[in-house]
Amino acid sequence: MESAWTLLSWGPEGWLDDLASGALVTVSLALATLPIGLATGFFIAVAKNSGEPSLRLAGNIYTTIFRGLPELVTLFLVYFGAQMALQNLVHLYDPEGTIEINSFVAGMVALGVVFSAFASEVFLSAFQAIPQGQYEGGYAIGLTRSQTMRLVILPQLIRIALAGLGNVWMSLLKDTALVSAINLADLLRQAYIAARVTKHGLLFYGVAALMYLALAIISSFGIRAVERAVGRREPAR
């Protein structure tokens, strides 16, 4: 029977290189999802904070759906449902045509909409924490609406929302494990394959757990560094 050190070594006899490549896919997926989720979440929060009832309604419907659905269901809807819808659309023009959604792209879209739904609530709370006088002060010195948002409101919004967004990022990092269900070779998928082949489930799932924990710890240090950087700039604003 192979020893744990052999199984966790690099090269053809070990699985550490496969776990490392899976961890790279996990981090890449989370980082690719982050800007999509942040941008979408911000605009959803703007819509929910708008004076236009139709925009508020659309934003509330969006967040209710994607905060209420289990993340795995959202992933399956994107990967299988969207693929079927696109396939039917292609068949209208080319009966022999086929289309397939990439697992990485499906995971990025599914996790992005879930992330944006939760991030929008963080942004909305930050919007509500900024006094109305901040807007009025910007208008009083001759700034336009967009300039007031960019120069006055947005710096405060980022500082207020940062802690909440850090928590949402941590959830996103963990939710990336769901993409193993659509055969993307992430960390959990590689651990599953190694455990199935070697019959050492406890070993490989334990190592995967430690690697997820390491990513979370690194993320927490990164978030604190950003918070300190934002805090140092705040007095000069």
Every domain of the chain and the residues it spans: 4-236
> Which DSSP state fits 183?
T
Does the pLDDT at position 45 exceed 90? yes
User: Which one is predicted more confidently, 45 or 94?
Assistant: 45
The CB density around residue 183, as the number of other CB atoms within 10 Å, is: 10
Query: Is there a contact between 48 and 130 (Cβ–Cβ < 8 Å)?
Result: no
Q: What is the pLDDT of residue 235?
A: 46
CATH superfamily of 4-236: MetI-like (1.10.3720.10)
- Report the predicted TM-score, pTM, of the whole model to 2 decimal places: 0.88
Q: Residue 102: is it exposed, middle or buried by C-beta count within 10 angstroms (0-12/13-18/19+)?
A: exposed
User: In this model, does residue 14 exceed pLDDT 90?
Assistant: no
Question: Is the pLDDT confidence value at 92 over 80?
Answer: no
Which pLDDT value is given to residue 1? 47
Q: What is the DSSP letter of 179?
A: G
What does the DSSP 8-state code read for residue 151?
A: I
Per-residue confidence band for 237, with pLDDT thresholds at 50, 70 and 90: very low
pLDDT per position as a tens digit, 112-149 = 999 999 999 999 999 889 888 888 888 888 888 888 88
Mean pLDDT in residue range 200-213: 94
